Amino acid sequence: MARHRPAAEGGYQCGEETRARIVDAALRLFGERGYDGASTRDIAREAGVNAPALQYYFDGKEGVYLACIELFVARVWEHLDDVVTNAEHVSADPKASDAMLADAYLAIQARFASFVYDWPEANHWRMFMARERAGLGPEAAFDVIDKGLNRRLFAATSAIIGRLLGKPADDEETRIRTIAIDGQVLVFRMMRRQVISALGWKGIGIEETARVSAIVLEQTRELLAALVRARGVRRTLSS
C-alpha cells in the first residue's frame, strides 16, 4: 500500500494537499501514457512538486499508482456502499421475493451506471482503468482492487443472480451469468469510441447517457425475469 505521510514542514494539511496533487497528476498521465510511459519526473512536473516528493510520499512510481487505485476504490464505495449493503441484506433473507431481489440488483446497477457515466472525472478514470483492466499496471494493483472492491461487489451481485437462477452463488453458471450481466454498464464507458462509431453519435453527453442507462436497466430487468422463468421451467421438468 502507498504510504500516507504528511509533509515534514508545513503540517499535515500541506502534506495532504501535496499528496492529492501528485495522485491527480499521476492519474491523468497514467491514463494517457500508461504505467511504463509516465515517468516519475513527468508526474512530479505535472503536480508542481520536485521529483523526490514522489519517493517521500509513495516510495516511488508504483506507490503512486497504487494510491490511484486506492482512491478509485474509495470513490466507488462512496457511491455504492448503501445499495450494496441493502442487496446483501435482501439476498440473505430467505423470505425475499424475486421482485425484491431484482430491485436490489437494479439499484446497484443504476448507482454504478451513475458513477461510471456521470462522475466529473470519469474520462480520466476511464483511460486509467481501461489500461488497468488490460493488465498494463503493476501486479500489486490487481490485489488492491480485487480485495478492496471486486470481491464484495461480485459476492453481492452473484448472490442475487444465484437466488433468481435457483443455483448457489458459487456455481459456475451463476458466476458466468453474473459477470455477463454486471459487465453491461462498463461496455459503454470502456468502449467509448466503438460505441460512438456504432451509434453514429458525435459524443456521449447527458442525453446519450440517459438513453444508455435506461435501456441497460430495462434490459437487465428482462434478463432477471428470464432467469426466474427458466428456474420455474427446470423445477417443473424435475418434478
Determine, yes or no, domain membership for 234: yes
For residue 95, give every residue at least 6 positions away whose Cβ sits within 8 Å of its Cβ, in sequence order, or none: none
Q: Assess whether 75 and 96 both reside in one domain.
A: yes
How far is Cα 196 from Cα 199, in angstroms, rounded to an integer?
5
Is the same domain home to 84 and 115? yes
* Shared domain check, 193 and 221: yes
Residue 4 lies in a domain: no
Does 145 share its domain with 208?
yes
For the entire predicted model, the pTM comes to: 0.85
Please indicate, yes or no, if residue 63 is contained in any of the structural domains: no
Residue 16 forms part of a structural domain: yes
Number of domains in the chain: 2
Rounded to 10°, the helix 172-182/151-165 angle is 110
List the pLDDT tens digit at each of the 239 positions of the chain.
455 555 444 444 468 899 999 999 999 999 899 999 999 999 999 999 999 999 999 999 999 999 999 998 999 999 999 999 999 999 999 999 999 999 999 999 999 888 877 665 556 777 788 788 778 889 999 999 999 999 999 999 999 999 999 999 999 999 999 999 999 988 887 777 898 999 999 988 888 888 999 999 999 999 999 999 999 887 787 76
